[in-house]
Chain A
């Protein structure tokens, strides 16, 4: 492998690695921000539904007496294609309102019920979907149930794929351009570093000394050329003298 090849590898590979890491980090950052935007959107929806539910609970209604809740959750689901289902469930773990009418009265996931012990927004990923939820409190501040909004991860996955392709194309293009510049620089640097060798080779064989700045081996090459010429001349003289001997004989 020549010096130019080695230097090209030394230059281009780290550049590709660095830009690859930047691309991967860009994708992960975009993914995190996308998840945060989605969480903000769902948190807002849950906040509105929670406010509606608790306003009714605070005036003494039971959770299953909020007649407008079913229509409300169906309206919200229709307005957002990413929403798979919205469920309002009681503290007993059974769905009281649901955009999936077949699920009414059916038990919801045990982990959903467990999460209403906490007042914070919660999130559970399962089966390619993400479920966000909050709890509903009665007028005594006790958990009366919860609201869960399930969003499809497929849409986010599509966005992620599109973003990954965008990043790959931009980072790839940058890597190719910068890699080519790096390879060109490496080639020129290698030529510069091997110039003393080329000059020494030229000094040995060319009658006129090579033009340009004196190289590191120029003096030694000139000495070697002189020695070579002297040796060659000595053979020439020796052959002539042998020939003279031969003629005398």
Chain B
């Protein structure tokens, strides 16, 4: 190697992040971290939230169905007792006015009831009140005269009438998963940018070390993990090389110290220039000492 080429090789090179390495820039890293954070949180929390919502909904509906079944049976019994009186006084149910209004008023007073019907012994509907077509559990109470069933009250209850609150619950769950996924993507952006900075520094370091034959300083190191290990590995190599260079300088100084006729000085300078082994600047720590 010529002295000029050596000098050029030792001169500090400008960082060339992507030119001399296979690294494709920060965009890909940032995007990968954001996508990972978003997808992992969306899929995992979405699946867990879906299962939890389905589980809680089933539990609540079972409980509400039991409670409403008891209420439905009580309403049916109570109405049957009221119509029982009319039958006992000899009033035909068909002749009773306002059955529909009475049933509607009873229905309106209890949210979980979806249908109340007064059915004659022949199956004819004598009155009915309903508020939606939802299926549900039916409680039946017979209206009797002299031990014979003359009509019956049917009360249909449905937890769906009370569980409209689940629409809001589902919406809340979806919003929570969406918000968590977006927050994760945002946090992933910062993590990705941090990693991209490390990658850029590493790419710069590799380029500089290659072009300066490990004479350029290794930048501030992260403390843990594979990234730190890589930086440390290059720093260790640089330190080992520096120790060998210092040994060369010491040997050269030793020879110059006894070179009273200065015959060896130009020869040593020639070796330095030819091999690119200019005297190393003292390390910052050594200067302090």
Q: Are the C-beta atoms of B49 and A239 separated by less than 8 Å? A: no
Q: Are the C-beta atoms of A33 and B206 separated by less than 8 Å? A: no
Q: Are the C-beta atoms of A227 and B21 separated by less than 8 Å? A: no
Interface range, A side: 35 or more
Contact with A along B93-126 (1 / 0, CB 8 A): 0000000000001100111110000000000000
Q: Are the C-beta atoms of B44 and A15 separated by less than 8 Å? A: yes
The answer for the CA separation of A73 and B211 in the assembled complex, in Å, is 98
Other 8 A-B pairs with CB < 8 A, given A43-B111, A216-B21: A11-B40, A175-B48, A217-B202, A217-B206, A220-B206, A220-B210, A235-B247, A238-B271
Q: Are the C-beta atoms of B48 and A228 separated by less than 8 Å? A: no
Collect the chain A residues with CB atoms within 8 Å of residue B87's CB: none
Collect the chain B residues with CB atoms within 8 Å of residue A216's CB: 21-24, 199
Q: Which residue of B lies closest to A30 (CB)?
A: B60
**Partner pick for B191 among A10, A43, A215, A228, CB 8 A cutoff:** A10
Q: Are the C-beta atoms of B48 and A178 separated by less than 8 Å? A: yes
Contact with B along A120-134 (1 / 0, CB 8 A): 010000000000000
Q: Are the C-beta atoms of B169 and A214 separated by less than 8 Å? A: no
A211 within 8 A of B: no
Q: Which residue of A lies closest to B105 (CB)?
A: A47
**Partner pick for B179 among A18, A121, A171, CB 8 A cutoff:** A18
Identify which of residues 67-100 in chain B touch chain A, using a CB-to-CB cut-off of 8 Å: 67-68, 70-71, 74-75, 78, 82
Q: Are the C-beta atoms of B209 and A194 separated by less than 8 Å? A: no
The answer for the CA separation of A39 and B44 in the assembled complex, in Å, is 38
Collect the chain B residues with CB atoms within 8 Å of residue A85's CB: none
Contact with A along B181-193 (1 / 0, CB 8 A): 1011001100100
A residues contacting B by CB (< 8 A) are 1-4, 6-7, 9-11, 14-15, 17-19, 21-23, 25-26, 29-30, 32-34, 36-37, 39-41, 43-44, 46-48, 51, 121, 166-167, 170-171, 174-175, 177-178, 181-182, 185-186, 189, 191, 193-198, 200-201, 204-205, 214-221, 223-224, 226-228, 230-232, 234-235, 237-239, 241-243, 245-246, 249
Collect the chain B residues with CB atoms within 8 Å of residue A1's CB: 224
Interface residues on chain B, number (Cβ under 8 Å): 102
CB distance from A214 to the nearest CB of B (A): 7
Q: Are the C-beta atoms of B163 and A33 separated by less than 8 Å? A: yes
| 4 tightest Cβ-Cβ pairs between the two chains A and B | A2-B225, A18-B180, A14-B180, A220-B21
Question: What would 7 A/B residue contacts be, using CB atoms closer than 8 Å?
Answer: A3-B194, A15-B180, A18-B177, A196-B23, A196-B199, A200-B206, A232-B241
- Identify whether the interface residues of A are mostly helix, strand, loop, or mixed: helix
Contact with A along B1-44 (1 / 0, CB 8 A): 10000000000000000001111100001001100110011001
Collect the chain B residues with CB atoms within 8 Å of residue A32's CB: 165
Q: Are the C-beta atoms of B41 and A14 separated by less than 8 Å? A: yes
B275 within 8 A of A: yes
**Partner pick for A197 among B32, B163, B202, CB 8 A cutoff:** B202
Q: Are the C-beta atoms of B37 and A10 separated by less than 8 Å? A: yes
Q: Are the C-beta atoms of A30 and B195 separated by less than 8 Å? A: no
**Partner pick for A220 among B20, B109, B214, B259, CB 8 A cutoff:** B20
Q: Are the C-beta atoms of A18 and B210 separated by less than 8 Å? A: no
Q: Which residue of A lies closest to B28 (CB)?
A: A216
CB distance from B183 to the nearest CB of A (A): 5
| A17-B180 CB under 8 A given contacts A44-B74, A198-B226 | yes
Chain A binder among B50-58, B135-143, B145-153 = B50-58
Q: Which residue of B lies closest to A226 (CB)?
A: B210
Q: Are the C-beta atoms of A198 and B209 separated by less than 8 Å? A: no
Collect the chain B residues with CB atoms within 8 Å of residue A239's CB: 247-248, 251
Q: Which residue of A lies closest to B167 (CB)?
A: A29
Q: Are the C-beta atoms of B195 and A26 separated by less than 8 Å? A: no
Q: Which residue of B lies closest to A222 (CB)?
A: B210
Collect the chain B residues with CB atoms within 8 Å of residue A249's CB: 255, 258-259, 264
The answer for the CA separation of A177 and B224 in the assembled complex, in Å, is 27
Collect the chain A residues with CB atoms within 8 Å of residue B272's CB: 238
Q: Which residue of B lies closest to A242 (CB)?
A: B251
Q: Are the C-beta atoms of A36 and B210 separated by less than 8 Å? A: no
Q: Are the C-beta atoms of A4 and B225 separated by less than 8 Å? A: yes
The answer for the CA separation of A191 and B177 in the assembled complex, in Å, is 26
Q: Are the C-beta atoms of A217 and B21 separated by less than 8 Å? A: yes
Q: Are the C-beta atoms of A231 and B268 separated by less than 8 Å? A: no
Collect the chain B residues with CB atoms within 8 Å of residue A195's CB: 226
Q: Which residue of B lies closest to A179 (CB)?
A: B44
Q: Are the C-beta atoms of A194 and B227 separated by less than 8 Å? A: yes
Q: Are the C-beta atoms of B45 and A178 separated by less than 8 Å? A: yes
Q: Are the C-beta atoms of B206 and A44 separated by less than 8 Å? A: no
Q: Which residue of B lies closest to A121 (CB)?
A: B109
| A33-B176 CB under 8 A given contacts A221-B206, A231-B213 | no
Collect the chain B residues with CB atoms within 8 Å of residue A171's CB: 52
